[in-house]
Amino acid sequence: MELEKKQWMTVIEPKTRLLELKLKEVWKYRDLIVLLVQRNIKVRFKQTILGPLWFIIQPIFTTIIQTFVFGHIAKLPTDGLPQFLFYMAGNVPWAYFAACLEGTSNTFTSNAGVFGKVYFPRLTTPISVAVTAIVNYLVQFLMFLGFVLFFMIRGADVHITWVAALTPMLILQMALLGMGCGIIISSLTTKYRDLQVLVGFGVSLWMYATPIIYAGSTLSPTLYKILMLNPMAPVIELLRYGWLGAGTTPFGYWGISWVTTGILLFFGIILFNKVEKTFMDTV
Amino acid sequence: METREPVICIEGVKKRYRLGVIGGGTLQGDLESWWAKIRGKEDPNLRIGAKKYDKNETFMALDGIDLTIYHGERVGIIGQNGAGKSTLLKLLSRVTAPTEGRICIDGRIASMLEVGTGFHRELTGRENIYLNGAILGMTKAEVDAKMDQIIAFSECEQFIDTPVKRYSSGMYVKLAFSVAAHLNNEIMIMDEVLAVGDLAFQKKCLDKMSDVSREQGRTILYVSHNMNTIRQLCDRCVVMSHGKIIFDGAVDEGVAIYSGMDGKDEFPVFYDCSQKPRRRSAGTGIRIQSIRFPDREKAIIERYHPVPIEITYRADQDWDDLQICMRIRNMQTIGELGSTLTETFSVKKGRLETARLLVDFSQMLDDQYLISFEILRRLTLGNYVPMENPDTFMPIRIVNERQNDIRWIKRAWGNIQLNDLKIEGISAGDGQ
């Protein structure tokens, strides 16, 4: 038949191939990603007095509280670094990772209205969330660098090491890891809303399993080994070592961390693809 | 022969939904059910008394759809609620996937299942145009190129840099529709989107749609319950019912079939009028009990074969000057197309009587109609008193059994063919 020979642009069938990533299609919609990122940023500070200042108010206050509670009251050791810088070096990237994870974890449920009416590659939404988080983080990172310079000028024992050159890779890894976990959760929440509750406190529990308010070097060797299997732990340790010059450099664990990230992201995308086709029927 | 390019090809598409609550809704619930199943115990999440979960408790929203749509067609899809129209559009716009079958599409689809999808309240009109355009698949450059046209069409120039949360609902819809109407996509899918906005804007939208279809050869799929917009916009009509396509063809015919569907049984042959409400103009004295088309299974009537109809009635007193009137109306137009009367007859008090009428429909074109009966009392000088008019409108379908009748265009020539014109004589004129 004539119809069989025709080259169709799109063929819609009940099942997807497991590894159909449709990244080409996502690339075609790159303008949408840019616009979604712009929207996320613009909308966030509409009708606020301080506007974009909120970008840096949040991390500064978190750092001050941590310095006070964990530094002054609990007197946790900080590898000899100024406490303020030590805590900021941990919580700024953590906030960024948490934003990636939490933002992508409700992709399907919070966009059900749009997804139910128009088709576009669904992966654009989690990607735009991650990119928004990166933009936020870069602003906060510049602020952090400002503080580092300030402390260096004041003569604190802080020095930037060559490990700092790995920062772009570390930033990318945190985005991929956050997105990987986020889209796994978002795919599962189309059916089980339980996970949405889990995300909130899960992230804060995860934070305590990551050397943010304490230094990796203060742990016993066994505990250190176990803790470094947490994919975020080596990332934070390396970032801190790179920009402040103290702490540990767990490169081996960092390799494991990349493998974990890859696996999570891989399963995340497979699950996401499986769900995106028919999630409208179950969400 | 005209070679037309198919742009959408739907082959055996089915969409199944499960009835009832899907799963327990919580992970805990599903785990409990699963654990109970493993131990061979009863599912704790089933309602008491309910049987085991039945996999067959499903609902076919689409039950085997085959449809090919060609380049440049404007197809109207009509059907009652739950017929599967929106599900079909959802599958075509890739919002959800079919359970079975295959859909092939050649060209970019712009789906307008809703206008203003992805609009953000806090953003200005202009920003929302970019965002909405991108969601619908345009690149930023494409939106830039069309920006002025979109703004002009939306009639919102003045407010374009105001956040849309300050817009009136009409402006919001106008802006949203303008974006969708200026898409470059080859295939447009619309679900009742024109049901919004004021009349003038609706007309503007319809004209715009017709324009893009005629001039740029776009293909349009349009779902609506508004038969007028379907008639104006479409050149092909698909009627759906219970997940199936029951008609595919000319718009007028499709609309007529849709209008005739008012229940389970099409063209029934028996009507019990005893409990039906009467119109206020109905008098007293006689009541029609039932109306029946004898000796047939459906009220499908051959045009040139007079059809018997039996009216059963009971009178409160003796009458000797009654007439039965039959009215006939069209499905599309308001008001009666025509009526016809019996001669006067008499009835006896309290007796159940049946009048057998022979109705000649030969002047009616093959189509669907609604007929109704009433009884009136004839006075002198052409006056009459209405006696009985049950609110029973019976759909009938007239089919033409003669193959060589002239091809009658009902839209131009009407639904009634008067008795043939007779040529009295032909005489030569004065000229050469």
Residues 6+ positions from B262 with CB-CB distance below 8 Å = B395
Give residue A96's pLDDT: 93
The interface predicted TM-score (ipTM) is 0.81
* B431 or A165, which is more confident: A165
Q: What is the mean pLDDT of residues B139-157?
A: 88
Q: What is the mean pLDDT of residues A169-183?
A: 94
What are the pLDDT digits (tens) for B76-127? 998 888 888 888 988 888 888 888 888 998 888 888 887 777 788 888 889 9
Q: A119 and B111: CB-CB below 8 Å? A: yes
Give residue B341's pLDDT: 92
Tell me the shortest Cα–Cα distance from B100 to chain A, in angstroms.
Answer: 6
Give residue B43's pLDDT: 62
Per-residue pLDDT band at A255 (split at 50, 70, 90): very high
Per-residue pLDDT band at B263 (split at 50, 70, 90): very low
Euclidean distance between the first and the last CA atom of chain A, given in angstroms as a whole number: 39
Pair B140, B134: CB distance under 8 Å: yes
Residue with tokens 């250190």: A224
Residue with tokens 């992201």: A265
Percent of chain A clearing pLDDT 90 (strictly above): 52
Give residue B49's pLDDT: 47
Given CB atoms, is B20 within the 8 Å cutoff of chain A? no
- Amino acid residing at B11: E
Given CB atoms, is B135 within the 8 Å cutoff of chain A? yes
Given CB atoms, is B118 within the 8 Å cutoff of chain A? yes
Per-residue pLDDT band at A2 (split at 50, 70, 90): very low
Report CA dihedral (B364, B366, B369, B374) to the nearest 10 degrees. Answer: 40
What are the pLDDT digits (tens) for B12-33? 888 888 766 555 556 676 777 7
The DSSP output letter for A165 is G
Name B395's bridge partners.
B370
Nearest to A194 among B28, B90, B139 (CB): B28
Strands B286-292, B270-272: pairing kind: antiparallel
* B326 or B389, which is more confident: B326
What are the pLDDT digits (tens) for B359-376? 999 999 888 888 989 899
Pair A33, A127: CB distance under 8 Å: yes
Per CB-CB distance under 8 Å, the chain A contacts of B109 are 10, 119
The alpha-helical segments, DSSP class H, found in B52-168 are 85-92, 125-135, 140-154
Structural domains in chain B, CATH included, are 6-22+72-260 (3.40.50.300), 270-405 (2.70.50.60)
What are the pLDDT digits (tens) for B167-221? 888 888 888 888 888 887 888 888 876 666 677 887 888 888 888 888 888 888 9
Per CB-CB distance under 8 Å, the chain B contacts of A12 are 91-92, 94, 97-98, 102-105
- CA A118 – CA A115 distance, rounded (Å): 6
pTM of the model as a whole = 0.70
Give residue B309's pLDDT: 93
Per-residue pLDDT band at A277 (split at 50, 70, 90): confident
- Per-residue pLDDT for B294 more than 90? no
Q: A194 and B27: CB-CB below 8 Å? A: yes
Q: A12 and B98: CB-CB below 8 Å? A: yes
Give residue A263's pLDDT: 95
